[in-house]
Structure 1
Amino acid sequence: MATLEEEFTLSAVTLGARPDGLLGVEPTDKTDHFLVTDRSRTVILYKVSDQKPLGSWSVKQGQIITCPAVCNFQTGEHIVVHDNKVLRIWNNEDINLDKVFKATLAAEVHSVHSVQGAEPVVLFRGGAARSLEALLAEPQQKVETVLSDGEVIKWSKFFVVFRHPVLVFITEKDGNHCAYVQMFHTRNLSKYTLWPGQEGKSVTLSFTAYVDRKFISLMSLSSDGCVYETLVPIYPSDTEKNQRLVRSLLLKLWSYGEHLFMLHGKCLTVIPCKCGVSSLAGALGKLQRARDPATWMAAPSGSEKHIEVELRKFLAKWTPDCHNLIGNITAGLLGRAKAEPAFYPRNCLMQLLQTHALSYSLCPGLMDAALERADVQVLQLCLQRFPDVPESVTCACLKTFLSIGDDSLQGININMESVFDYSNTEQDEKMEEQSGILRNGFSPEDSSCNRELNEKPQEPAAAPTPCPVTPQRAALLNGILCSAYSETFLLPHLKDIPAQHTTLFLQYLYFLYLKCSENAPMTLPGTHPPTLSQIMDWICLLLDANFTVVLMIPEAKRLLINLYRFVKSQISVYSELNKIEVSFRELRKLNQEKNNGGLYSIEVLELF
């Protein structure tokens, strides 16, 4: 039996200007990836388990997408139609839809259909259907009109039946419905008139269908709250005649409060239905429903110390199947904290976070409360524990970490695992000794990127660059660097960071970059420190969002010059590495061409 799990919001982005702005959601050739089509101009590729968009494509201003985008399961490409006749085909690497493959068709398109095991088909508004391959071979081919005047397609679906593609679509004219079945391997199109049956003058709201042996079971939902079923033959007895099919009553539904009543035949079934707290982690299977119905802390009372003692007792008997109960307890504590500003049970919240049972979507008020009180200890732990922190909250945490005073950080118990001892002389000497021999693949004396500097009078060796922030602040910022984000949704929020804080963060990132560059593995010491890739990504993000502002700050001028020099040196490094790679490829090719391994030879390979 199917089980309905908790819902979660995939996107808070407004889809279209009208209430019916969502045009469609279609699967792709990769599990958990879906194409979401806006009724106006945009197609977004989502990975649902991460609740993150992987790509977004839009047509030009003035153009309108007129049918949902689908995936070609044979090639992995995406297909969409805009302005009724213009067909576009692209893949994930393409950025601009205006520059991808384009074909203008001779007739208006109703929908494009694609399923596993079959070539995509295009259904035209006139009722004709063509395979995608046939249309691409001749886009301007003549398309016949099958439907009568005033007959409009209301619903369609594509199946593979016994390895053969079958297209079913429903039309409506003057309140009457017809079903069409298109068999592509025999090129037969069958038409069936759907008789009203028991629903009388009710309006059909929607359709769905599935294949049941030699029939297509077509179900329709009517405005009278009934579900009707019609069995449509896949192989008709006479394809030339307009055959008639009668709908039969399948279910009748009533809903009152938290009870759903279903009339199925002569049986009346009641299904209790109750919507709980929505949780992304629960929808991903990371949370399970609690077996223990206890809700002793849904409305906690008493002193904070008393609650802490009771919570410790509860957690001593806590089992991993009580995740939702942990969420309820957290929500109860936060509810009281909101009602009583003087009540803020930090120790209890820290204990609950340590259970690994919480997520942002399960208790979004937790990080909001911590931000309101500048509780960096709770925020740091949330960033480490939560896999679904929105980019706006991540940026709010960054602002708090950069603005809080050094004196305030001294008395806070911050996790320092990601920070190494910046004052460790032995560590610095060891790095300096390594950098004296090799610095990112170059000897300091021979580096081509320093050739211009070497021509100038030499200055005394500069002292090691000090860290621009305290170790406590560094630990908090490292949590930001290691957090998950989507660049598209993070950039707008980074523009709101004050200029002086942006400069400070860039200085810290530059310091980390220097430390990475001082050793051959190009990694930082410590437990779970930021990686070089994360450091470079955040430098790029900050400069993309605030370059104009940073450029106007005198203190940032030297920093930008240093960043430019390091980028230039990295280009030189990769250029020389590419030369070495080519040389070794040629050497491997020469070794493979040797036919007689018994002969002795000496070969000189010039790398530079």
Structure 2
Amino acid sequence: MAALYEGYTLCGLAPAQNLSNSGIQGIETERDSDYVVVTDTTRSVTLYKVSDQKPLSSWTVKQGQTLTCPAVYNSQTKEYVAVSDSKVIRIWKEEDLLLDKAFKATVSSDVWRVHCAAGGEPVVLFQRGAVRLLDSLLSAPQQPIEEVLSPEEAISWSTIVVTETQQFIIFTTEQKGDTFLYLQRLNPNTLQRYRLERQEPGLTPLSFSASYRDKHIRLLYLYSNGNVYQSVVSVRGLVADEGTQALPLPRSLQLGLPVGDGQLEAASAQVLDEAHVAVVGVPHPSAGAGKDFLCIWNTNFQTLQAGKEMAGKIYGQLWSYSNKLFIPHGKTLSVIPYECPKSSLASALGKLRQAKIEESKAPTLVPSWNNILHEEKAHPSRTAETRKTRTTRKSQSASSLTSDQVLELIKTAPIEEVQKEVEGLLSRMDIQDLQTSVGQLASTLVSRSLDDPAFYTPSSLAQLVHTRCLCHSVCPDLVLLALERKDYFLCQLCLQFFPDIPEAVTCACLKAFISMSDADAGQVSLEPDSVSFMESLMARELGPAGLQNGFSPNAMDEDHSDDTRAENKEKTSTPPEQICPVGLYKAALLNEVLQTAYSDSFLLPHLKDLSSQHVVLFLQYLQFLYLKYSQESFPQMHGLRSPSLTQIMDWVCLLLDAHFTVLVMTPEAKGLLKSLHSFVKSQVRLVSELGKIEGSLQELNKMKTKKEVGKYSIEIIELF
């Protein structure tokens, strides 16, 4: 099944005053998939390295001038090409600082767009439909440019498509309610015109996307009523220009997206592969109105594969490069990695068998959740068998209510009946769209629970989370409801299975977990693996000579003074940091927070809401984990729910960044900060030594070995 992963911010936006425009004119790839060129709608072009989320270079035209065409990168000459004021073509290199001093040429007709395929020569498309290769145009910039379009016809969208041996410039135009498609082949130079079938009166496509596959160019376009169509044109047998004659272009309906009562205003559909389409600006089937989502749909089986709520206004813009989606929303340009495995019926219905590691985890744990909630201390194997038998018996005798009937029943029926029918519905295998049904069920259950304090179905909600077809974007109030009802087991499940929990909700969970007493935490039934990990961790004593990850708790820093050495020698009792500062179950919940995905810039503001006492306690727990991980005898139990050493160190840095001033002025934090400083220095020293080893190994790798070595030889290798 397709998936959307945790995104990150590439840059901020400066949208127009009326918020109708994101401020971005275009995004193009540069030297490789990790570099993009972003052109704003006014004066600037900026080069970004995507993985580092930072700009490398930026160029701006003079005040009063405007960039009217997104900049492209010519990989042949390693130059950038853009157009200002519709007629001035500008070409520059990365080392050029000022655009005004770089090469520029004025042409005789207005330019619509410059396109450049990877490894190809830039192609200039003029507003009246003419096409020129950049080099031939620059040889005579004032050459006359013919008019291909009729007087009332205007270009609305264009792109470049590369086949095995040719390049095609594809553009669409609009004229009096009609939409036309032009295919311009560059070598040999031929042009073909097609007329798209008309939609309802007054409806024109909101977005276009083109792809090439199996000797055919496939055009995908989205209308404001939610219909997504595809038209297919063969690249073979394209004839020369036949004047104004337009051939009819058949279409097939790929998707009928839900739009609610109104029409779409700012939406876009982007082809990802032969079976998947990314859509932005279309309501999610399980979410309420007024929420903007990025979704991936499977066109083969008409199913929603993944969804992610986007904060802020959607502008109907979407770009896709190298399994990353670039989407402007609100005042942010976000990068959302995605994955689209090969389409099959099993994956579309969420029934595709996963890797062996996942198979070994999920099936053995799913049946036991209901028993754990009711504190049945049954043997795991016997519990699973009993639950399986009970589920089979219920599924055979339960009435076959449809998903819509169960949704109506949830609104008024008693708790016992609701839990029975939801469990029966999930146990049947005839649900057509599991992901959509699960989202609707969860939203309806949460909605009634919020309205009626006496209604709450923890077991049903836990089962819905365990389907792995639910995420925070689909049901954003679920985690907050669990916190309100103090259902920490459900909170733990959501933290484990939801890939898109916002940083504000993560901090709300952290605050709730660290605020409750160890006695209250001990009464909570939690996921067994997380508890088993902490039990094994607390049962081990710190070895006196343990040394791992470059740190030994008894080792002294080389640059300590003599007074500090004497002071440390006097301490013979067990250091308090070797004792876990929180209880077993409380620690298991905190570990779930440590393993939740986050973005530093979004998490830090919410961390500032923690009190100084909670920050000190959390830091003490992180220090305890670090010391345990540093033991030489500590086994890395990958099969259990446990945070990594990197996650522990990252959270230490986050807490110190958010509360440094408060901690410095808090007397009880003085010793803790000194201890944290020591093992942060040890990590720095370890990384430094690893760097030296890496350099030595690289030098060894560069050495040329002799092809013929005698029976006996001596080699001397010097490492610097």
Same fold (TM over 0.5): yes
Alignment correspondent of 1:341: 453
SS in 2 for 1:530: coil
Distance in 1 (alpha carbons) for counterparts of 2:715 and 2:155: 82
Shift of 1:258: 6.5
SS in 2 for 1:144: strand
- Shifted more, 82-91 versus 476-485: the winner is 82-91
Alignment correspondent of 1:114: 72
Distance of aligned partners of 1:92 and 1:387 in 2 relative to their CA distance in 1, 3 Å threshold: closer
SS in 2 for 1:219: strand
The answer (yes or no) to whether the contact 1:226–1:251 under 8 Å persists in 2 is yes
Q: Which residue of 265, 278, 286 maps to 1:277?
A: 286
- The Cα offsets for residues 272-308 of structure 1, whole Å up to 9 and x where unpaired, read as 6534236756246698469996323212132211222
Q: Which residue of 564, 575, 592 maps to 1:479?
A: 592
Distance in 2 (alpha carbons) for counterparts of 1:480 and 1:530: 9
| 1:303 maps onto 2:421 in alignment | no
- The Cα offsets for residues 223-245 of structure 1, whole Å up to 9 and x where unpaired, read as x644244676858999xxxx9x9
Alignment correspondent of 2:426: 315
Q: Which residue of 251, 255, 269 maps to 2:198?
A: 251
| 1:91 maps onto 2:49 in alignment | yes
SS in 1 for 2:679: helix
The answer (yes or no) to whether the contact 1:156–1:167 under 8 Å persists in 2 is yes
Alignment correspondent of 2:467: 355
Q: Which residue of 159, 172, 192 maps to 2:147?
A: 192
Alignment correspondent of 2:609: 496
Shift of 1:356: 1.9
SS in 1 for 2:530: coil
- The Cα offsets for residues 442-473 of structure 1, whole Å up to 9 and x where unpaired, read as 69568636674434472242325211111111
Distance of aligned partners of 1:16 and 1:438 in 2 relative to their CA distance in 1, 3 Å threshold: closer
Alignment correspondent of 2:133: 183
The AA in structure 2 aligned to 1:143 is K
The AA in structure 1 aligned to 2:84 is F
- Shifted more, 183-192 versus 104-113: the winner is 104-113
Unpaired stretches in structure 1, ≥5 consecutive residues: 24-37, 40-65, 171-177
The answer (yes or no) to whether the contact 2:96–2:102 under 8 Å persists in 1 is no
- The Cα offsets for residues 413-432 of structure 1, whole Å up to 9 and x where unpaired, read as 11242345767799534x41
* RMSD of aligned residue pairs (Cα, Å): 5.2
- Shifted more, 533-542 versus 12-21: the winner is 12-21
Alignment correspondent of 1:563: 676
Alignment correspondent of 2:125: 168
Distance of aligned partners of 1:207 and 1:251 in 2 relative to their CA distance in 1, 3 Å threshold: farther
The AA in structure 2 aligned to 1:307 is V
Alignment correspondent of 1:552: 665
The AA in structure 1 aligned to 2:104 is V
The AA in structure 2 aligned to 1:448 is E
Distance of aligned partners of 1:103 and 1:424 in 2 relative to their CA distance in 1, 3 Å threshold: closer
The answer (yes or no) to whether the contact 1:159–1:165 under 8 Å persists in 2 is yes
SS in 2 for 1:195: coil
Alignment correspondent of 2:650: 537
SS in 1 for 2:157: strand
Distance in 2 (alpha carbons) for counterparts of 1:192 and 1:400: 68
Q: Which residue of 139, 150, 156 maps to 2:113?
A: 156
Shift of 1:557: 1.7
| 1:377 maps onto 2:489 in alignment | yes
* Paired residues for 1:324-335 under 5 Å: 324-335=436-447
Q: Which residue of 468, 479, 485 maps to 1:367?
A: 479
TM-score when normalising by structure 1: 0.71
The answer (yes or no) to whether the contact 1:449–1:569 under 8 Å persists in 2 is no
- The Cα offsets for residues 143-197 of structure 1, whole Å up to 9 and x where unpaired, read as 333247xxx65x4251559965422131xxxxxxx33422135337633153246
* Higher RCO (C-alpha 8 Å, min separation 6): 2
Q: Aligned residues: percent identity?
A: 28
Alignment correspondent of 2:398: none
Distance in 2 (alpha carbons) for counterparts of 1:134 and 1:495: 40
Shift of 1:392: 1.5
Q: Which residue of 372, 392, 401 maps to 2:504?
A: 392
| 1:144 maps onto 2:105 in alignment | yes
Alignment correspondent of 2:241: none
The answer (yes or no) to whether the contact 2:68–2:83 under 8 Å persists in 1 is yes
Alignment correspondent of 2:558: 448
The answer (yes or no) to whether the contact 1:394–1:480 under 8 Å persists in 2 is yes
- The Cα offsets for residues 64-119 of structure 1, whole Å up to 9 and x where unpaired, read as xx85453214585443567966655453477764x747687998643344379766
SS in 2 for 1:496: coil
Distance of aligned partners of 1:134 and 1:516 in 2 relative to their CA distance in 1, 3 Å threshold: closer
Shift of 1:409: 2.1
Distance of aligned partners of 1:123 and 1:399 in 2 relative to their CA distance in 1, 3 Å threshold: same
Distance in 1 (alpha carbons) for counterparts of 2:249 and 2:677: 78
Q: Which protein shows a greater Rg? A: 1
Distance in 1 (alpha carbons) for counterparts of 2:512 and 2:553: 41
Alignment correspondent of 1:432: 543
Distance of aligned partners of 1:84 and 1:384 in 2 relative to their CA distance in 1, 3 Å threshold: closer
Distance of aligned partners of 1:551 and 1:138 in 2 relative to their CA distance in 1, 3 Å threshold: closer
Alignment correspondent of 2:87: 127
Shift of 1:589: 8.6
The answer (yes or no) to whether the contact 1:208–1:220 under 8 Å persists in 2 is no
Alignment correspondent of 2:363: none
The answer (yes or no) to whether the contact 1:288–1:322 under 8 Å persists in 2 is no
